[in-house]
A and B are shown apart, each in its own frame.
Chain A
């Protein structure tokens, strides 16, 4: 029983990080129908910027998170403008291959700049310690991660549902021409979407590096891939789906680590992707409509 509760807590912890990252995949897909494979590397960049803010600029942890989010928001927009925007009317496979290229470029750029050896994320002193409920321990890192994720997810949901820019985003995702006829600047709206998704990815990256203490150029690959699975699981393009998918992924992963084995957990996670694609390709919250090609 204790193992179970502890693994559920771990699952929610890592799941909330997956959810944050999955949001970036799903928002970008929703608006430009592109799987942004470089999104995992935004996570990696966020972790580096967070790390440097703490170690080089001596910023407090909260400020480091904000710096990482802002810098990555700018990089997310730049990646879109430089790499994807010129291909907006090209076949989708071109943009997809470009996204893979951007991903490799960023990983290798960071390796050249900062070396391949993992850097250690310093312990954040205010996050040491845990809450005990009977024999169950919940670390402050877990509490902070889950809280921040939920706050930002609720905030995002508010932006998308209630604000003018959120409505512009939804209209662009449905019909770019009709959106233009309403007076929406489509390119600006797409840029903002990349910025928001990247900022959430950076937050995920900092929280991930705090949980696993490591920052290295390829750290975005696995969580990026799992968050992508989470987005597909929930229904790609559907924001609440990405959140749900993230938590499901986190729970499945940590329960299979707890009850089956560490080495099997990835196989199980990707097995789920295959099953979803076979039986409910539109995802948990998606409607099964065949995509027009």
Chain B
């Protein structure tokens, strides 16, 4: 088979993994070597669905001994199969990298024969890139769950990031669609890598020549909307994995119908893009805005609001915490105001040292004043009698915003 066709097949099969981040790498170029990591990562292009293209994201092969219902590469699926040779992946990576198409390689694979056989080939590729080609660009490698400890620990010396996908947010969900699989080997391998990361870090403190081990950390991915979990189930799982395995990122992939299997949403169903977006917003609030997961999702509110973002939704449920006085309030409270991001919040606490801030200054700083004005006081806030209720504010904000996702979903709803 020609290399062009192989690449097309194995890129196509890899595209359902939504992670393409190249961030968190700290690798510098070595003398006479090629490449380095960019601290915040670089998106070299964007696909026509608007996703970042940062890494050459391919499968080593789409042959697979498993039959996971949600996966295009499942063994019962009648598709064209292909497999790269080790050298082919190396050549593609290096040549794409030299042309500044990519930040590096994201290598995953279907399972041929067994976990170790597959992991051993993945290892050969990354080892060759690092040692023979002296490649210092970014490498994201899939850990094959259940592969032997020795293989995983060696691969970690060459990869910047490793990941294993949970696939379904709960064990029950996974059992339903992939009866041959369970979360146990995934947890075991996540644990192994996470322990090794910690151990190498400790040793590096004492001895400088101890090599780095998966310096950009681990991540995982969950498919959303294939099984009936609530947003609360999903985010509690995410929270648990962030904490237990010290993950850098959890990705949420809206399920894209690829099968007529009756256990799954029908072909032609739109992928739940808006829901996916809301989950990412929640993830963000947990990681950067000091929110606890139960503040945003709890048995009273097991689902995220579709119409408005989770921060606004939380604020409207907690009107007693507002208004926040921009000129005196604690940074953490300012961060909780809808319409104020991390950057603006930082600028506010710096700038207010030089005098009380007014609305126009907030606007200049980058605050979405239209949204924030319902929740703040600043130097020139008008005196008002009787604050509007949460419902009034919600209606006002909704009337003044259009979402890139809402339009589409309204359109879909109106079809039924």
State yes or no: do A and B come from one complex: no
Interface residues of A (CB under 8 A from B): none
